[in-house]
Amino acid sequence: MQEKICPACEKGKLHQVNDIISELGGYIFVEKGERCDKCREEFPYQEETQETITAARKLGVWPEPLKLYRKLSKSGRGIVLRIPTDLERQMKLKGTEEVTITKIGSRIVVEVTKEK
Ligand SMILES: [Zn+2]
């Protein structure tokens, strides 16, 4: 495979990655694409971007974006993030699910992994 030079900085090489984070309407999507090893610029694949938009539409977050700004709060044993009620309703959360918390760069991704 031929090495691609980053079009942004023209110095770095592009590497295939599968953890490009896009945000649509407050939802986080992970896409495949390429990332520069110098300037860290990310270039998601066109078809991936299209898939994300399609998925977002199915979720009903496009073109009606939900804004999910929340403040963390402190409880006795740690920091608490409250899930907004519109998201709770949309994802039919009962509040008893198990979640996986993944740190990707400066972002925290919460996935519902098990329904109880
Ligand atoms: Zn670059």
Smallest CA-to-CA distance from 91 within 37, 26, 45 is with 26
Digit-coded pLDDT (tens) for 2-26:
689 998 999 999 999 999 888 777 7
Digit-coded pLDDT (tens) for 27-44:
788 888 999 999 998 888
Rounded Cα–Cα distance for residues 11 and 29 (Å):
28
d(CA 42, ligand 1 centre) in Å: 8
**Domain boundary assignment for the chain:** 1-67, 68-116
Task: Give residues whose Cβ lies within 5 Å of ion ligand 1.
Answer: 6, 8-9, 12, 36, 38-39, 41
d(CA 35, ligand 1 centre) in Å: 8
Q: Contact, 112 vs 99, CB < 8 A?
A: yes
CATH 3.40.50.10540 correct for 1-67:
no
User: What average pLDDT score do residues 90-103 get?
Assistant: 87
The pTM of this model reads 0.48
CATH 2.10.260.10 correct for 68-116:
yes
Check residue 90 and give its pLDDT. Answer: 75
